[in-house]
Amino acid sequence: MVSLAIGGQINLTSTLWFCGIDPGTNSLAIASTVLASKMTIGENMSAGLGCSAIVFFLGATRTIHLIGSYTPVAIVRGIQLGAAGSLIKKAYDLVKGLQWTITADNWADNNVWVLLSFMFVILCYRTRIPSALILFIIGLIFALIRMFVTDNDSDLDHPIAGGHYPDTIIHPTPEEFRDGVVNAGLGQVPLTALNSVIALCALIDDLFPDRHATTSSVAMSVGAINLIGCWFGSMPVCHGSGGLAGQYRFGARSEVSVIFLGVCKLFLGILFGSSLVGLLQLFPQSILGVMLFISAIELGSAVRTVNNGVTEEWRQRENWTLLLITMGAILAFSNDGIGFLTGLVSAVLLSIQRLGPVEWSKAMWDNAKLIPYHWRHQGVLAYNKAGSDAKPVMDPEDPRNEGLPKPTAPSIFSIDSSNHR
């Protein structure tokens, strides 16, 4: 966010306002492409608008649910592990230039603070101490000291208190809209659909089993906030599973933490707005890197459930193979969409090898006939957390099941072990 604000590719005031109304994380694929290609703010906003329109449509038509229904859990877990690996790489990039020697210039940002911050988080790991909030406050204090005491002669702009509000209306040209959507927006669509909707809903089921979130509502939420905020220069955002994992790891257990975070962002946006850019530049990379690293560990640890309820050794091995293939493709190409397609193609090829082309074709046809049923009756479908396939099953405790037909077709990715070859 800081890099985009410094480059004039977002409006920080608008970003704080809209992220306060609907807290989220930046859209990684869009942000990385915009920074690398030095796109304009019009192209950045066009990418966000194009991606969000597609995601909102998938959510409004409840079509995105079908993606989750027919995506094996091993691939979803692979996406989560790949995202975790990407966050670890980003954390390393933040701290690799730091030194062990403490001088007057780096007293607030060095490897000693990396070690101390890491030890503090680990010591608080099994407690409900809000270690992330404490580290953030420490980092903010360091940034304030550097700005107003030790580095007060720097050229960085100081925060200016006042009534700041979104006053920028973006009018992208047809060329900016085309370049933004094609070069940055389309690459974000699979990442948002998979990591910010499907993987997020799976993680919610893991962390909060009694608070299931539908893929449709999450997709429409992501789409709506960007379809409004991007016109004002707000950074394209999404509800990443990494953000939820990090908040949970650092003590969040209810919606109060998100509301508090949103209020803080909105307050900062109203009081200081874009004048905070200079202060954010001085936030210690050592502390930020540790927080990012621990969030990645929490996100990656979710893959431990990939074989829950699976007893067959061959199926366990196949699930881990798909998980690692998906993760490897994501890390190699830095693209969740490529990772998803690689994992899905591998799952299809493995199932064809196991069943044979004839049996696999029959199973695929049976599943295709169930698509209208799954689309109509999403309200009574729940993820089967006992197995390793993210396919919907009838919830036996839901009274709305009465009178509805029971789906019986096998999954093209998961056939009874008696058919294993």
Predicted confidence (pLDDT) per residue in 2-19, tens digit:
667 766 788 888 888 888
pLDDT at 409: 43
CA–CA distance, 94 with 92 (Å, rounded to integer): 5
Q: How confident is the model at residue 119 (pLDDT cuts 50, 70, 90)?
A: very high
Pairing verdict, β 25-26 and 381-383: unpaired
CA–CA distance, 287 with 185 (Å, rounded to integer): 31
Q: Which residues of 82-109 are buried (b: 16+ CB within 10 A; e: fewer)?
A: bbbbbbbebbeebbeebeeeeeeebebb
pLDDT exceeds cutoff 50 at 407: no
Residue-wise pLDDT tens digits, 205-253:
888 888 888 888 889 988 998 999 999 988 888 877 767 877 777 677 7
Half-sphere exposure of 218 (CA within 13 A, CB side): 25
Residue-wise pLDDT tens digits, 280-337:
788 899 998 898 888 888 778 878 888 888 888 989 999 999 999 999 998 888 777 7
Average pLDDT, the chain: 80
More reliable by pLDDT, 420 or 325: 325
Count of all residues that appear for the chain in the document: 421
pLDDT at 323: 94
pLDDT at 413: 55
pLDDT exceeds cutoff 90 at 415: no
CA–CA distance, 85 with 296 (Å, rounded to integer): 7
Please provide residue 302's backbone torsions phi and psi, each rounded to the nearest 5 degrees. -65, -20
Range of weakest confidence among 115-124, 207-216, 397-406: 397-406
pLDDT at 380: 42
Q: How confident is the model at residue 32 (pLDDT cuts 50, 70, 90)?
A: low
Task: Decide if 236 contacts 30 (C-beta within 8 A).
Answer: yes
pLDDT exceeds cutoff 60 at 135: yes
pLDDT at 406: 46
Please provide residue 308's backbone torsions phi and psi, each rounded to the nearest 5 degrees. -60, 125
For residues 354-364, average pLDDT: 90
pLDDT at 408: 44
pLDDT at 109: 92
pLDDT at 196: 82
For residues 18-31, average pLDDT: 73
Encoded tokens for 347: 């799952």
pLDDT exceeds cutoff 80 at 33: no
pLDDT at 421: 40
For residues 339-363, average pLDDT: 91
More reliable by pLDDT, 421 or 78: 78
Residue-wise pLDDT tens digits, 373-390:
777 765 444 444 433 333
Long-range contacts of 221-224 (CB under 8 A, 24+ apart): 221/22, 221/59, 222/24, 222/52, 222/55, 222/56, 222/59, 222/192, 222/196, 222/197, 223/52, 223/53, 223/55, 223/56, 223/57, 223/59, 224/52, 224/56
For residues 402-419, average pLDDT: 44
pLDDT at 401: 42
pLDDT at 394: 38
pLDDT at 45: 93
CA–CA distance, 343 with 74 (Å, rounded to integer): 9
For residues 86-105, average pLDDT: 89
pLDDT at 56: 93
